[in-house]
Amino acid sequence: MTKVCILTSVHSAFDIRIFHKEATTLAKFGYDITIIAQHDKHEISNGIKIIPLRKAKNRLDRMTVNFWLIFQKSLKVNADIYHFHDSELIPIGIFLKLIGKQVIYDIHEDVPKDIKDKVWIRPPIRGVLSRAIFMIEFFSARILSGLISATPAIAKRFPAFKTAVVQNFPILQGMKRNLVYQYSQRRASIVYIGNLSEARGSKEMINAMGSLPKCLEAKLTIAGAFSSKNLEIESRQLPGWTRVEFLGWIDRGTVRQLLDNAKIGIVLFHPVPNHMESQPNKIFEYMQASIPVVASNFFLWRQIVEKYRCGLLVDPLDIKAITGAIKWLLEHPNDADAMGKRGRDAVEKKYNWESEGKKLIGFYEHLRSERKNG
């Protein structure tokens, strides 16, 4: 069996993309998988070995102490292929490649663009750091064995002959439509799943709820966490908060139940560079749950939402437009139901992990053949 070691300093051991999609798919096809990630114990789950990494106290602790721990633990595994998920692990990846291992860099987001949007980095430093990361990724891509990109836009920055696009679409297996909740029987719930920040439209969502007519008995249900305590305090003081049901982080099974009983899924990312070329998994999860989406009117998202007529696009900074889209969907349940069904059909036919998993296996098989041929 080909031995694979998956490394992440940022994500948890049971991260959806890392564990439930990539690692589980590889294990199913006969690869011996070990994951080194933040976790509280040694564990074997679904045949996948998990080597725990202490929870980092802060970013500096993660990028120093945990970086060194990952390096030590990865050498002990002595895998054939190493697959890392965070740009801060590039030095480890290069070292492993130089000692004869095959190494894959899995790029979840456009890191140079993302850095420009980080409010916790002082503005004068953002540009310098962004350019530095761009150059580090550029040169490391020429050294590493292969790269996996989460979106086609990210893949454009890397050598095509060694880059595979494996998109973060939902898993269909075991997640069939819940027939208990017909659209007409669902709660008047507008759902948002994921991290909350100003750049992700947290205030616009809440303000739009405050602008809805009182006769519409609708709630914004949030399953996620605020990026800062200050943002949470500010958000709770907005008039629309009285129509918010804040759940915090919940497990995947509860998320599925929440979506199965909702009427609208919402994602209002602001038009910053890293967002406009992203493909948030939450859009496809809403589509999978047969609910229409209210989404930012980015060009890339338009290719999905307009093509399959599965929701409404709005200016994410325009409260009136957001409120109007939510109101229209709630007042036109038959049209909203049809949009949801078209979205679900699109996921079943195209936007699903089962099709992306085949790309992952094909990429790994190519690397394995290269290794056998020296």
User: Using H for helix, E for strand and C for coil, what is the string for the chain?
Assistant: CCEEEEEEEEEECCCHHHHHHHHHHHHHCCCEEEEEEECCCCEEECCEEEEEECCCCCHHHHHHHHHHHHHHHHHHHCCCEEEECCHHHHHHHHHHHHCCCEEEEEECCCHHHHHHCCCCCCHHHHHHHHHHHHHHHHHHHHHCCEEEECCHHHHCCCCHHHEEECCCCCCCCCCCCCCCCCHHHCCCEEEEEEEECHHHCHHHHHHHHHHCCCCCCCEEEEEEEECCHHHHHHHHCCHHHHHEEECCCCCHHHHHHHHHCCCEEEECCCCCHHHHCCCCHHHHHHHHCCCCEEEECCHHHHHHHHHHCCEEEECCCCHHHHHHHHHHHHHCHHHHHHHHHHHHHHHHHCCCHHHHHHHHHHHHHHHHHHHHCC
Q: Which residues contact 100 (CB under 8 A, 6 or more apart)?
A: none
User: Residue 174's pLDDT band (boundaries 50, 70, 90)?
Assistant: low
Instruction: Give the sheet arrangement for strand 146-149, strand by strand.
Output: 43-45, 48-53, 32-38, 3-12, 81-84, 102-107, 146-149, 163-165
Q: Give 32-69 pLDDT, tens digit per residue.
A: 999 999 999 999 999 999 999 999 999 899 999 999 99
Structure tokens at 98: 């130089």
Mean pLDDT for the stretch of residues 198-204: 95
> Quick check: 264 and 196 in contact, CB under 8 A?
no
Residue 87: per-residue pLDDT: 96
Distance CA 124, CA 297 (A): 30
Q: Give 224-267 pLDDT, tens digit per residue.
A: 999 889 999 999 999 999 999 999 999 888 998 999 999 999 99
Residue 114: per-residue pLDDT: 84
> Quick check: 273 and 113 in contact, CB under 8 A?
yes
Distance CA 336, CA 167 (A): 27
Q: List the domains of the chain with CATH numbers.
A: 3-169+352-372 (3.40.50.2000), 183-349 (3.40.50.2000)
Q: What are the phi and psi torsion angles at 291 (to 5°)?
A: -120, 145
User: Residue 184's pLDDT band (boundaries 50, 70, 90)?
Assistant: confident
The average confidence (pLDDT) of the chain is 93
User: Residue 177's pLDDT band (boundaries 50, 70, 90)?
Assistant: low
Q: How far is CA 100 from CA 103, 163, 190, 208, 359, in A?
A: 9, 20, 51, 55, 25
Nearest to 151 by CA among 134, 168, 137, 128: 168
Structure tokens at 151: 């979106």
Q: Give 111-143 pLDDT, tens digit per residue.
A: 988 888 777 788 888 889 989 999 999 999 999
Instruction: Tell me which residue has tokens 């100003």.
Output: 198
User: Residue 176's pLDDT band (boundaries 50, 70, 90)?
Assistant: low
Residue 64: per-residue pLDDT: 95
Q: How far is CA 187 from CA 170, 252, 256, 265, 314, in A?
A: 23, 19, 14, 12, 23
User: Residue 175's pLDDT band (boundaries 50, 70, 90)?
Assistant: low
Instruction: Tell me which residue has tokens 């709660």.
Output: 187
Distance CA 37, CA 9 (A): 6
C-alpha dihedral sign at 17, 303, 313, 343: negative
Residue 94: per-residue pLDDT: 98
